[in-house]
Amino acid sequence: MQKAIQSDVLVIGGGLAGIVTAIECLRAGKSVILVDRDTPERLGGLALWAFGGMALVDTPVQRRMKLKDSPEIALKDWLRYGELGEQDVLPRKWASYYVEHSREQVYDWLTECGLSFMPAVNWVERGMQGNGNTLPRYHVVWGTGQRLTLRMIELMRQADSGNCLTVLSNHEVLELELTHGVVVGANAINHATGENVQMAAQTVVLAMGGINGSLEQTRANWVKGRPMPTTMLNGAHPYASGKLHHLVAGLGGQITHAGEMWNYAAGVPHPKPHFEGHGLSLIPCKSALWLNHRGERIGPEPLVVGFDTHTLCQRVAAQEKPYVWHLLNWRIAIKELALSGAEHNQRIRDHQTLMFLKETLLGNHRLVKQMVCESRHFLVDDTLAGLAAKMNALAGTNDVRADVLQKTADAFDANFVLGDRLYNDEQIRRIEHARHWGPDKMRTCKPAPLQARGAGPFMAIQTQLITRKSLGGLQTDLQSRVLDARGQAMEGLYCVGEAAGFGGGGACGKRSLEGTFLPGCILTARSAARSIVAGRGLSHA
């Protein structure tokens, strides 16, 4: 069976980047086909699961918190933290564009779209030596990525003034259609019916997500010389296979920075996986001790979350075994444990303000109990000896000796014997620094002994590296046009979102200031749409 359809614009990929492109093109009177590999319920891609954190510069929320941010400060942070070199011409251009326009193109635009942000900004990725975000700029969309995505889908439907929009779910693009070397459409298979569909369009927008949705791709792209663990979980999109990237590369497009990834250091297998190898990324507790497979504290510099995710991942990846342990107690867990994404942040997702405040102030027993109940990687015991036995049972080894675990806890707790004037531990120093910022203070315990009376039971969580975003992708200019090896725009071909490395084939360089991904999708998509509508894509009429 074969079907042929056509439109002004063909968008391949129904994630946030593809949907925003579609909204803007439809609003300008273009007809759009949006084709997506996933099911209709999962239209929206990763953004549907996302937490909704966004790095935004000089916003009203920051100003209310008396933060004087500016594109200049943010750009300095961005380039230094991402280690962007002089050769990263296009990523640097996108970085500048981002910091200059995130306020009006993302914050103001989303507000006009009927979305709002939580009233506090968080201070993430501060850098190990203060070389990350010099200011808090992590804004959270009220309703998480889920609300953001559903609202975008709603706006896309509303922008269809009459049969201008065709959404094809369950359709996988297998080939790009060419005439005289120019992309003029694509061929897809409908996985629900087996039907082949030929789609012709003046302009084709690639919005198929990242490269590292499969672990094979992740391993193949891993930067040589960086430690790579023998096992990892998958927290990326299972259909972000990189196949279309390679098809376009075969036509002259350039894939750059493919080895750069934004992975996370503390994943656990998803208790209800959506696909094979699916992981959940914990936002681990700042006060937990990170231990190696023997139950010894990893050092000499202890691991602490919230300062440098890239370095944390490398430290975890360099361990002898592909997992680490977090040692904590119930008091820490209820205040500090969180999980990334819409799924486990229901108070924010479902606008339950009072319950959100209650759980923030009094502790989130609900989440901790849920994880203990659903995940066998969360272990609880009244004694450290009992915990060591459970850790060994889970790992299937005898690596954790009860006396070693006891020594680890005692050594940390010794810091508190002489009082807080005499603390001398890097993790405690970092925790105290974090607690100077109000929103962090609400979510971080005052330093205390692990074995403090009434703080139990003890907990151990076994975590491993989890993949997430591809920082590299197809090289694009500031109009999101795909460039060839000579730096020329390829006729009628655009690329947006994670597929384009959030702009320029790798706008973040080696590290993200965090929360640069959803805004990166919006910025690249809106730039593409503006260029398409203005007819700058050299589209073949």
Ligand X SMILES: Cc1cc2nc3c(=O)[nH]c(=O)nc-3n(C[C@H](O)[C@H](O)[C@H](O)COP(=O)(O)OP(=O)(O)OC[C@H]3O[C@@H](n4cnc5c(N)ncnc54)[C@H](O)[C@@H]3O)c2cc1C
- 209 binds ligand X, rule: CB under 6 A: yes
Q: What are phi and psi of 282, to 5 degrees?
A: -80, 145
**Of 259, 252, 212, 217, residue with least CA distance to 236:** 212
Closer of 188 and 379 to ligand X (Cβ): 188
- 207 binds ligand X, rule: CB under 6 A: yes
Residue 518: CB minimum distance to ligand X, A: 4
Residue 366: CB minimum distance to ligand X, A: 19
Q: With contact defined as beta carbons under 8 Å apart, do 497 and 13 qualify? A: yes
Q: Is 13 helix (H, G, I), strand (E, B) or coil?
A: coil
- 505 binds ligand X, rule: CB under 6 A: no
| Binder among 10, 12, 73, 258 for ligand X (CB under 6 A) | 12
424: left (phi over 0), alpha (psi -120 to 50) or beta: beta
Chain position carrying tokens 């492109």:
21
- 261 binds ligand X, rule: CB under 6 A: no
79: how many CB neighbours lie within 10 A of its CB?
18
d(CA 127, CA 361): 27
- 47 binds ligand X, rule: CB under 6 A: yes
| Binder among 16, 155, 268, 368 for ligand X (CB under 6 A) | 16
Residue 524: CB minimum distance to ligand X, A: 8
| Binder among 9, 148, 173, 348 for ligand X (CB under 6 A) | 173
| Binder among 26, 53, 364, 490 for ligand X (CB under 6 A) | 53
| Binder among 24, 58, 69, 172 for ligand X (CB under 6 A) | 172
460: left (phi over 0), alpha (psi -120 to 50) or beta: beta
Q: Is 187 helix (H, G, I), strand (E, B) or coil?
A: strand
- 260 binds ligand X, rule: CB under 6 A: no
Closer of 145 and 295 to ligand X (Cβ): 145
Residue 389: CB minimum distance to ligand X, A: 33
**Which of the stretches 176-184, 347-355, 364-372, 515-523 binds ligand X when contact is defined by CB under 6 A?**
515-523
Closer of 47 and 99 to ligand X (Cβ): 47
91: how many CB neighbours lie within 10 A of its CB?
29
- Taking only Cα atoms into account, the Rg of the chain, rounded to an integer number of angstroms, comes to 24
- 523 binds ligand X, rule: CB under 6 A: no
Q: What are phi and psi of 161, to 5 degrees?
A: -80, 0
Chain position carrying tokens 């795909």:
482
Footprint of ligand X on 303-362 (CB under 6 A) = 340-341
Footprint of ligand X on 465-504 (CB under 6 A) = 469, 497-499
| Binder among 45, 91, 132, 253 for ligand X (CB under 6 A) | 45
- 50 binds ligand X, rule: CB under 6 A: yes
Which residues, in sequence order, are CB contacts of 240 under 8 Å at separation 6+?
A: 208, 209, 210, 211, 212, 213, 470, 498
| Binder among 121, 244, 283, 523 for ligand X (CB under 6 A) | 244
Footprint of ligand X on 54-93 (CB under 6 A) = 54
Q: With contact defined as beta carbons under 8 Å apart, do 263 and 466 qualify? A: yes
Q: Kindly give the interhelix angle for 384-395 and 402-413, rounded to the nearest 10 degrees.
A: 130
d(CA 317, CA 289): 17
419: how many CB neighbours lie within 10 A of its CB?
8
| Binder among 11, 17, 61, 367 for ligand X (CB under 6 A) | 17
Q: With contact defined as beta carbons under 8 Å apart, do 207 and 47 qualify? A: no
- 125 binds ligand X, rule: CB under 6 A: no
Query: Could you list the residues that contact ligand X (CB under 6 A)?
Result: 12-18, 35-38, 45-47, 49-54, 145, 172-173, 207-209, 235, 237, 239-240, 244, 340-341, 469, 497-499, 515, 517-518, 521
